[in-house]
Chain A
Amino acid sequence: MAKNYKGTMTGISKSMGFLLVILFTISTSIIILPLLNLNTDSFLLNLASKNPISAVVNFSHNAFFPWSVDSFWLKYFQSASVTFLIGIYLTIFCAGTYLLTQKTFQTWSEPFFLAILLTAFIVSVFGFDVTIISLIAYLPWLILAYSAFIYSERNSFLYALILTFISIRNVETSLYLSIIPASISIFLCWDRSLFTQKKQILALLILLTPAIVKNLSINLPYFPDYPWGKASLVSFDGVAGILRPLFGPEWGIEVIDRNFIRNTFWIPSLLLCILSFYRFSNLSEKNSPFIKKTIYLALILSGLSFLDTRLPESLAQIAPIATLSKLIPGFIFVPLTPIFLSISVFLLSISSSSVLTAAKVPLLFIITVLIFHASDKHTSYTFPLLYKIQKIEISTLNDKRTISPSYKIISDTKGLALNSERFRSVKKRVSPKRFSALLVASENSNSLKFTIDRDLKTHWNTSNQRQTGNEWLGLKLESPQIIDGINLNPGTETANFPRGLRISTLTECKEFPAKESFKENSEKINIPEWIGPVLFTKLDYPFFGKQSDLKIIFAQQILAQCILIEQTGIDHFHDWSIAEISLITTMNK
Chain B
Amino acid sequence: MVSAKVPLIFNFDQTSSKQLDIEQPSLWKHICTFGFMLILFSIILGKVNFWDNNQQILIPSLTYGFIIGGILILTSLLQIKKVSSDCFTSVWGFAAGLILVFISDWLVRGYNLFQGPSARGELILVSILAAFTLRKKGTQLVSAFFVIGLFIIIFSFLSESKGQLLFSDDHASFIYRLQLLKSNFPNIPFYNPDWNAGFDSRDFFATGALSIYLLFLPIIYLFPIEEIYNLIVVSILFILLPASVFLASKQYKVSALASITASLLSLGVSLIWYRWALKYGTLGFILSTSLMPLVIAFSARFCDSKDPLKFKEYFIFFAALSICFMWPGSVFSLAPVALFILYSLPQISKNKIKIVFLTLFILVHVTWLGPFISVTKIGKFVTSESSSQQKKVSSTSALSNDRSHEDLKLFKMKPQALSIPSLLTHLREQVITVNPLIIFLAIPGIALLTRGIQKRVLQIQCLWLFLCGAILYPLKPQLELDRLLTVLVIILCVPTGIAFAALLKNLREEISESKIKSIVTYLAAGFLLSTPLATANIINNRSPEQYFFATSFLKDLSTAINIHAGDGRVLFSGFILQDISGGHVAPLPYFSNKQLITSAYYHTQWWYTDVIPESFRKEGLAGVQKFQDFYNVSAVIAHEPTWKKFFRSHPDQFQLVWQSGKFELFKRLGYLSNYFLEGSGEISKITNHNISLRLNSDSAVIKFTYFPFLTATDCELSFFEAFSGNKFIKLSNCPIGKEIKIESLSPWQRTIKGL
Contacts and interface: CB of A to CB of B under 8 A. Distances in A.
Interface of A: 216, 243-244, 246-247, 314, 317-320, 322-324, 326-327
28 contacts: A216-B155, A243-B118, A244-B542, A246-B533, A246-B534, A246-B540, A246-B542, A247-B152, A247-B155, A247-B156, A247-B159, A247-B537, A247-B539, A317-B117, A317-B121, A318-B117, A318-B118, A319-B121, A320-B121, A322-B121, A323-B118, A323-B124, A323-B125, A324-B125, A326-B118, A326-B122, A327-B122, A327-B125
A327 B542 CA distance: 14
Contact of A317 (B118, B125, B539): B118
B636 interface: no
With most chain B CB atoms within 10 A of its CB, the pick from A216, A243, A244, A318 is A318
B536 interface: yes
Nearest to B52: A314
Contacts of A246: 122, 533-534, 536-537, 540, 542
Interface size band for B: 10 to 19
Contacts of A244: 118, 542
Contact of A323 (B121, B152, B155, B534): B121
Interface string B526-542: 00000001101101101
Nearest to B152: A247
A216 B152 CA distance: 10
B121 A326 contact: yes
A181 B376 CA distance: 63
Interface of B: 117-118, 120-122, 124-125, 152, 155-156, 159, 533-534, 536-537, 539-540, 542
Contacts of A319: 121
A453 B527 CA distance: 57
Contact of B121 (A216, A247, A318): A318
A410 to B, nearest CB: 30
Contacts of B121: 317-320, 322-323, 326
B122 to A, nearest CB: 6
Contacts of B156: 247
A314 B124 CA distance: 15
A317 B117 CA distance: 9
With most chain A CB atoms within 10 A of its CB, the pick from B122, B125, B536, B539 is B125
A327 B125 CA distance: 10
A313 to B, nearest CB: 11
A318 B536 contact: no
Contacts of B120: 318
Given A246-B534, A247-B536, 19 more contacts: A244-B118, A244-B542, A246-B537, A247-B152, A247-B156, A247-B540, A314-B117, A317-B118, A318-B121, A318-B124, A319-B121, A320-B121, A320-B125, A322-B118, A322-B121, A324-B125, A326-B118, A327-B122, A327-B125
Nearest to B120: A318
A320 B155 CA distance: 24
Contacts of B155: 216, 247
With most chain A CB atoms within 10 A of its CB, the pick from B117, B121, B156, B539 is B121
B752 to A, nearest CB: 55
A326 B114 CA distance: 13
A243 B119 CA distance: 10
A247 B536 CA distance: 6
A215 B536 CA distance: 16
B94 to A, nearest CB: 25
Contacts of A243: 118
A309 B120 CA distance: 18
Contacts of B125: 320, 323-324, 327
A246 B153 CA distance: 10
A88 to B, nearest CB: 33
A467 B500 CA distance: 53
Given A247-B536, A314-B117, A323 B122 contact: yes
Contacts of A314: 117
Contact of B533 (A320, A322, A327): A327
Contacts of A317: 117-118, 121
A253 to B, nearest CB: 14
Q: Which 4 A-B pairs give the minimum distances between C-beta atoms?
A: A323-B121, A318-B121, A318-B120, A247-B536
Contacts of A323: 118, 121-122, 124-125
A209 to B, nearest CB: 13
Nearest to A246: B537
Contacts of A322: 118, 121
B116 to A, nearest CB: 9
A247 B158 CA distance: 12
Nearest to A244: B542
With most chain B CB atoms within 10 A of its CB, the pick from A244, A246, A318, A324 is A246
A45 to B, nearest CB: 28
A149 to B, nearest CB: 25
Contacts of A324: 125
B374 to A, nearest CB: 48
A320 B537 CA distance: 18
Nearest to B534: A246
A322 B124 CA distance: 12
Nearest to B51: A314
A317 B122 CA distance: 10
A296 B122 CA distance: 22
A422 B731 CA distance: 73
B106 to A, nearest CB: 15
A137 B156 CA distance: 31
Contacts of B534: 246
A317 B536 CA distance: 19
A247 B540 CA distance: 6
A16 B539 CA distance: 57
A323 B120 CA distance: 9
B546 to A, nearest CB: 13
Nearest to B537: A246
B750 to A, nearest CB: 49
B600 to A, nearest CB: 31
A243 B118 CA distance: 7
A208 to B, nearest CB: 13
Nearest to B119: A318
Nearest to A316: B121
Contacts of B533: 246-247, 327
Nearest to B155: A216
Contacts of B537: 246-247
B706 to A, nearest CB: 51
A322 B534 CA distance: 16
A472 to B, nearest CB: 34
A540 B155 CA distance: 35
A320 B129 CA distance: 12
A327 B537 CA distance: 10
B240 to A, nearest CB: 22
B148 to A, nearest CB: 11
A373 to B, nearest CB: 32
B408 to A, nearest CB: 38
Nearest to A252: B542
A589 to B, nearest CB: 41
A320 B536 CA distance: 19
A216 B542 CA distance: 18
B532 to A, nearest CB: 9
A217 B674 CA distance: 55
A327 B123 CA distance: 12
A314 B50 CA distance: 14
A317 B118 CA distance: 6
Nearest to A217: B159
A62 to B, nearest CB: 21
A327 B121 CA distance: 10
A198 to B, nearest CB: 19
Contacts of B539: 247
Contacts of A247: 152, 155-156, 159, 533, 536-537, 539-540
With most chain B CB atoms within 10 A of its CB, the pick from A216, A243, A320, A323 is A323
A243 B537 CA distance: 12
Contacts of A320: 121, 124-125
Contacts of B118: 243-244, 317-318, 322-323, 326
